[in-house]
């Protein structure tokens, strides 16, 4: 199995190279820090309200982003070291594993952050600047979400291997053995759901 440090570097290298993140994206966010950081509490309230509004997501109100969305949002405008920022997202992913926050919560909320921040930026900075910031935030949030999801998967896999003593090759064989069975069960569930909705 690849050494932990090497796998972390691989995750960051692949995610960063495909994300489209520009060298000056964080510089653009730092330039509007004075205007944007005061929005943090309002945006956190929106995140919490959204999570609390649905029974399926209510358990994550106090665990998504370690229960501190406002602090996380403010940190986006203080990044000077991209590597350190991405390491922080990896650490958040470990906390999500610890508290059972699923990846679908992270992925579904990323565009909501962009949507809400763009609205605030348009009100405060004007439409043209808001559109520029929306593009930057989309790249930053997408990269953060991808790093969190990839780290989540890595941590779960490594925890299983470490606790069971299985080799990675054995784990892959077990996955291959049961994958088709699970795929068939999923198709049946999908067909049943479609039939019930018809």
pLDDT tens column, 34-51: 999 999 999 999 999 999
Q: What angle do CA 189, 190, 195 make, to 5 degrees?
A: 100
| Separation between Cα atoms, residue 159 and residue 124, nearest integer Å | 46
What is the per-residue pLDDT across 59-73, written as a single tens digit (0 to 9) for each?
A: 999 999 998 999 999
The upper half-sphere exposure of residue 174, i.e. CA atoms within 13 Å in the direction of its Cβ, equals 9
Classify residue 167 by its DSSP letter: -
Give the closest residue to 121 by CA, choosing from 138, 102, 104.
138
Start-end of H helices in 38-167: 40-52, 69-75, 82-99, 103-125, 127-164
Question: 171: pLDDT confidence band, cut at 50, 70 and 90?
Answer: confident
């Amino acid at each position: 199995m690849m050494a932990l440090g090497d796998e972390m570097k691989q995750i960051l290298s692949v995610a960063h190279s495909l994300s489209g993140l520009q060298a000056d994206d964080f510089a653009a966010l730092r330039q509007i820090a004075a205007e944007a950081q005061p929005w943090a509490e309002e945006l956190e309230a929106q995140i919490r309200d959204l999570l609390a509004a649905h029974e399926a997501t209510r358990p994550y109100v106090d665990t998504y982003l370690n229960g501190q969305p406002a602090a996380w949002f403010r940190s986006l405008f203080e990044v000077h070291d991209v590597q350190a920022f991405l390491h922080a997202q990896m650490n958040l992913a470990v906390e999500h594993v610890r508290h059972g926050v699923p990846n679908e919560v992270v992925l579904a909320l990323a565009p909501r952050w962009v949507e809400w921040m763009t609205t605030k930026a348009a009100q405060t900075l004007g439409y043209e600047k808001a559109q520029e910031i929306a593009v930057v935030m989309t790249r930053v949030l997408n990269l953060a979400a991808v790093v969190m999801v990839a780290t989540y998967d890595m941590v779960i896999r490594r925890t299983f291997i470490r606790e069971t003593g299985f080799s990675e090759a054995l784990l892959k064989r077990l996955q291959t053995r049961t994958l088709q069975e699970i795929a068939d069960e999923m198709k049946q569930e999908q067909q049943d759901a479609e039939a019930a909705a018809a």
